[in-house]
């Protein structure tokens, strides 16, 4: 039997799948051997008969190799490439008619799109299960980076967002979005009490530890302050926890657990926001923006009114005659969608939004179809980041969301945001790559020597 298994496994080129195929074949052979013995054969005869029934090992191995091979999501790569080219052309047009910081940002952005695309392809070749295997260590590093930024980061408009590493400025607010797929790996480690060797622990205690991994990074991101990113992280991680709970990963009452989690974490942000608003948790400019947005008055509400007017005054195609560079601030970053609609027409803006919606739909489609539960949850985490950030940015451009630091994935300037977006997409490509390789569950344990 061992020689047969060895001959079959040698035909499979993907080394990652070999242990799982060997285990499945071994279980099948052992079941068949036991059936043969039960029918009256001796052990040696039962083994020979079971191996013979499996067929030629070379042919069997070649057939399994055709089934269990890496896959490439060409359609998704093509869509990302088209969006990236469109974004590069838009920023080329912005840079050609701009000066100063806007020129520098958009000029660098064109380069960052190319670099980001290469990073995405590099991530494709990384096994996504490694993220889950070292998820707690990665999470601690991200939390540590957040704390470092809070203590030693560079102030920009009252927020400590930037740190310098090897002459490179890193936007920690952008990097913290990677915490969401990492959190998916942490959740996977805790399924069915697998994160601890103590079998007497309760599922409720596991959920408490999971909530710790969720609350701590959100708290530190809020302290920057980066409220929109904290909100995005919270919503995304709550969604992942809901999916994991509904899948039965934790031995608790599903309706009670899901209702309690959402009840607490929908109420706490409201209470926390009120406390931060009336305390010292928000910068003065943030308080002014919120008051202006909800009261519809004040100088800080000027931008919201401009955005609302822009949304209804754009022509279907072509410029509406308004100079976006004068009318709208940050027109190459947070409000790039408004710039596109003003300069090229409403149809252009809608096409960009539809392209991003199609990309997000593909991400969720790939994730939800995964046989492997880790890939499913991690892919949904990447999708949630893209979904929530896209919706918030579009709502902000329409004047339906208070002015804040947001970005439109694959379109807004900002090197850190661009690279992080491509990393998220690369993770999804890696998940798709192994869709026919990994079984429902994989081992993500690791030992520190």
Please check whether residues 247 and 337 belong to one and the same domain. Answer: yes
In a domain, 15, yes or no: yes
Q: Which of 182-191, 206-215, 271-280, 298-307 has the highest average model confidence (pLDDT)?
A: 182-191
Give the integer Cα–Cα distance in Å for 75 and 429.
Answer: 11
Sign of torsion over alpha carbons 124, 126, 130, 136: negative
Please check whether residues 208 and 342 belong to one and the same domain. Answer: yes
pLDDT value at residue 55: 74
Q: What is the largest CA-CA distance in the chain?
A: 91
Please check whether residues 359 and 427 belong to one and the same domain. Answer: yes
Question: Which structural domain, as residue segments, surrounds residue 365?
Answer: 74-251+314-434
Using the 3D structure, point to which of 46, 68, 90 is the last residue of a domain.
68
Give the integer Cα–Cα distance in Å for 438 and 440.
Answer: 7
Give the integer Cα–Cα distance in Å for 325 and 304.
Answer: 16
- Listed residue (183, 81, 87, 83) closest to 131, CA to CA: 183
In a domain, 264, yes or no: no
* Beta carbons of 311 and 398 less than 8 angstroms apart: yes
Please check whether residues 105 and 63 belong to one and the same domain. Answer: no
In a domain, 1, yes or no: yes
Q: How confident is the model at residue 309 (pLDDT cuts 50, 70, 90)?
A: confident
Give the integer Cα–Cα distance in Å for 311 and 398.
Answer: 6
Residue 345 φ/ψ, nearest 5 degrees: 105, 160
* CA distance readout (Å), 327 to 109, 271, 302, 343, 344: 22, 35, 11, 12, 15
Please check whether residues 64 and 78 belong to one and the same domain. Answer: no
Give the integer Cα–Cα distance in Å for 417 and 177.
Answer: 9
Length of the chain equals 449
Q: Where are the strands (E) in 46-177, listed by range?
A: 154-156, 159-165, 168-171
Residue 30 scores a pLDDT above 90: no
Please check whether residues 63 and 107 belong to one and the same domain. Answer: no
What is residue 371's DSSP assignment? S
* pLDDT, tens only, 122-134: 999 998 999 999 9
Using the 3D structure, point to which of 68, 85, 114 is the last residue of a domain.
68
As beta bridge partners, residue 154 has 162
Please check whether residues 82 and 48 belong to one and the same domain. Answer: no
Please check whether residues 161 and 38 belong to one and the same domain. Answer: no
Count the domains in the chain: 2
In a domain, 267, yes or no: no
Please check whether residues 32 and 143 belong to one and the same domain. Answer: no
User: Within 13 A of 397's CA, how many CA atoms are on the CB side?
Assistant: 30
Please check whether residues 49 and 141 belong to one and the same domain. Answer: no
Residue 420 scores a pLDDT above 80: yes
Residue 202 scores a pLDDT above 80: no
Q: Mean of the pLDDT values across residues 82-87? A: 95
Sign of torsion over alpha carbons 48, 51, 55, 61: negative
Using the 3D structure, point to which of 48, 68, 88 is the last residue of a domain.
68
In a domain, 186, yes or no: yes
Q: Mean of the pLDDT values across residues 74-90? A: 95
Please check whether residues 150 and 217 belong to one and the same domain. Answer: yes
Please check whether residues 244 and 363 belong to one and the same domain. Answer: yes
Residue 93: is it exposed, middle or buried by C-beta count within 10 angstroms (0-12/13-18/19+)? middle
Burial code (b: 16+ CB inside 10 Å, e: under 16) for 102-116 equals beebbbbbbebbeeb
Residue 393 scores a pLDDT above 60: yes
pLDDT value at residue 164: 81
């Amino acid at each position: 039997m061992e020689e047969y298994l060895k001959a079959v496994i040698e035909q499979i080129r993907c080394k990652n799948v070999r242990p799982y195929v060997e285990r499945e074949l071994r279980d099948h052979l052992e079941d068949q051997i036991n059936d043969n013995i039960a029918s009256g054969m001796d052990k040696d005869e039962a083994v020979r008969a079971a191996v013979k029934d499996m067929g030629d090992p070379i042919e069997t191995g070649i057939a399994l190799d055709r089934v269990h091979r890496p896959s490439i999501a060409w359609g998704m790569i093509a869509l990302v490439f088209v969006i990236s080219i469109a974004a590069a052309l838009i920023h080329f047009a912005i840079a050609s008619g701009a000066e100063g910081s806007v020129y520098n940002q958009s000029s660098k952005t064109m380069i960052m799109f190319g670099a980001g695309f290469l990073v995405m392809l590099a991530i494709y070749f990384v096994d996504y299960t490694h993220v889950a295997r070292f998820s707690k260590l990665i999470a601690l590093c991200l939390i540590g980076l957040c704390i470092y930024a809070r203590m030693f980061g560079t102030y920009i408009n009252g927020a400590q967002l930037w740190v310098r590493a090897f002459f490179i400025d890193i936007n920690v607010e952008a990097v913290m979005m990677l915490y969401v797929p990492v959190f998916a790996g942490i959740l996977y480690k805790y399924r069915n009490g697998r994160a601890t060797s103590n079998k007497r622990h309760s599922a409720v205690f596991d959920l408490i530890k999971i909530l710790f991994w969720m609350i701590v990074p959100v708290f530190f991101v809020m302290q920057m302050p980066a409220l929109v990113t904290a909100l995005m992280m919270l919503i995304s991680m709550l969604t992942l926890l809901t999916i994991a709970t509904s899948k039965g990963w934790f031995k608790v009452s599903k309706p009670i657990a899901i209702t309690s989690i959402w009840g607490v974490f929908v109420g706490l942000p409201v209470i926390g926001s009120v406390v931060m608003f009336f305390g010292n948790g928000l910068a003065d400019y943030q308080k002014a923006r919120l008051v202006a947005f909800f009261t519809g008055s004040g100088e800080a509400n000027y931008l919201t009114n401009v955005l609302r007017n822009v949304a209804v005054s754009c022509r279907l195609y072509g410029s509406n005659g308004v100079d976006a560079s004068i009318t709208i601030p940050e027109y190459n970053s947070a409000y790039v969608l408004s710039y596109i609609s003003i300069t090229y027409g409403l149809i252009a803006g809608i096409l960009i939004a539809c392209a991003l919606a199609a990309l997000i739909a593909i991400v969720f489609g790939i994730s939800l179809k995964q046989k492997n539960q880790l890939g499913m949850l991690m892919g949904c985490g990447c999708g949630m980041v893209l979904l929530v950030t896209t919706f918030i940015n579009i709502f902000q451009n329409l004047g339906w969301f208070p002015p804040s630091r947001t970005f439109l994935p694959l379109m807004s300037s900002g090197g850190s945001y661009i690279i992080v977006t491509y990393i998220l997409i690369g993770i999804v490509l890696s998940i798709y790559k192994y869709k026919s390789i990994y079984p429902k569950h994989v081992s993500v344990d690791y030992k520190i020597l």
